[in-house]
Amino acid sequence: MFDKLESIEKRYEEISLRLSDPSVISNQDVYRELMKEINNLEPILEKYREYKALKAKIAEALGMLSGNLEQDFREMYEDELRDGRDRLPEIETELKLLLLPKDPNDDKSVIIEIRGGAGGDEAALFASNLYRMYTMYAEIRGWKSEVLDSNVTGIGGIKEISFSIDADGAYSRLKYESGVHRVQRVPATESSGRIHTSTVTVAVLPEADEVDVDLNPSDVEIDTYRSSGAGGQHVNTTDSAIRLTHVPSGIVVTCQDERSQHKNKDKAFKLLRAKLYELAQAEQENEIARSRKSQVGTGDRSERIRTYNFPQGRVTDHRINLTLYKIDEIMNGSLDELIDALITEDQSKKLSHTGM
């Protein structure tokens, strides 16, 4: 581990020198890549320098305590030695976590797809609840969200919805939300008070830039049609809705939420790129797919990950056996306690897997 940290320190110093080179500054692509790399190395280097400073402080305290000291000074250095030895394992663990292989998508924004599963109208209503939960979470964190496409029911439910959350690092926190979410509650339409169980599927896709996906325009069939809302009510009277069909993969995406055909087309291509990026990852990154089996966030859409039990006021995440009796807070977007626990468990499993 420490050989790796030494090489990181040398690489950091090398990049720092290159960033002051006028030829690098004038080449924006190279400059941008180097800035990205140095920003990734900086937290590791800061922690490593903190570790080395603490080791030096412990050595100094040991050296001083080996000599003749007045009682006050001896007590002072004994305190420094004790505090340093207590803190050292914590820094070592923090360094190990910083050195874990980073998911290349962690810095990306996300596209989230929510679909009602088993349960009919109740599933559609809960899909609407989950959409509200995620957009409220985004609002709490100061992130921007935007609907890409939606299919709503006449009673306020959502059959399916796709929306983006634009923020650096959104994927690093929301990737754990992919899977089947189960709800247990008494539907508003249930006169006998019987508890129903319904399911909703959530897929979290890293948003793909144009450089991430080789999308040939000739491979995409573009159809326009008239937008319509719940109950057959026309959203407008022009053919502004867009349907994109990617012929090689068979992927079809639609967007009709904007009145402008141009805006719908932009949103549809945004969604298509994310789906193609996800497909490419599934096909090309078999090693990553295997490693995910030992991690918390598998991203498997068929995996039941969480239960929301309204009569008992609890939310249970089945992957880490965590139950929180805070269902109202969670449904209002307070997801950090759940997500932080998932991240901690994921990191712990990765550490044991790497043997660090």
Q: What strands lie across the sheet with 110-116, from one edge to the other?
A: 144-152, 158-166, 110-116, 196-206, 179-185, 304-309, 314-317, 322-324
Q: Are 73 and 198 within one domain?
A: no
Which segments within the chain are labelled E, that is strand?
A: 110-116, 144-152, 158-166, 179-185, 196-206, 220-225, 241-246, 251-255, 304-309, 314-317, 322-324
Asked, for residue 114, whether it belongs to a domain, the answer is yes
Position 34 scores a pLDDT of: 92
More reliable by pLDDT, 214 or 160? 160
Q: What is the signed CA dihedral for 12, 17, 23, 24, rounded to 10 degrees? A: 20
Indicate whether 185 pLDDT > 60.
yes
More reliable by pLDDT, 148 or 230? 148
Position 139 scores a pLDDT of: 96
Asked, for residue 104, whether it belongs to a domain, the answer is no
| Tokens read off for 303 | 């995996």
Q: Are 198 and 126 in contact (CB under 8 A)?
A: yes
Q: Are 258 and 135 within one domain?
A: no
Indicate whether 281 pLDDT > 90.
no
Position 302 scores a pLDDT of: 64
Length of the chain: 356
Query: What is the band of 336 on the pLDDT scale with cuts at 50, 70, 90?
Result: very high
Query: Of the candidates 68, 99, 130, which is a domain's last residue?
Result: 99
Position 228 scores a pLDDT of: 64
Buried/exposed 303-340: b ≥16 CB within 10 Å, e otherwise = eebbbbbbeeebbbbebbeeebeebeebbebbbeebbe
Position 299 scores a pLDDT of: 46
pLDDT (tens digit, 9 = 90+) per residue, 49-77? 999 999 999 999 999 998 888 898 899 99
Residue 117's CATH number:
3.30.70.1660
Q: Considering its fold, how many domains does the chain have in total?
A: 3
pLDDT (tens digit, 9 = 90+) per residue, 296-305? 554 455 678 9
Query: Of the candidates 283, 311, 332, which is a domain's last residue?
Result: 283
Query: Of the candidates 283, 307, 337, which is a domain's last residue?
Result: 283
Asked, for residue 105, whether it belongs to a domain, the answer is no
Residue 250's CATH number:
3.30.160.20
Q: Are 231 and 142 within one domain?
A: no
Give the range of the structural domain holding residue 347, as residue numbers without chain letter. Answer: 110-210+290-354
Q: What DSSP string describes 118-151? A: TTHHHHHHHHHHHHHHHHHHHHHTT-EEEEEEEE
Average pLDDT over residues 244-255: 90
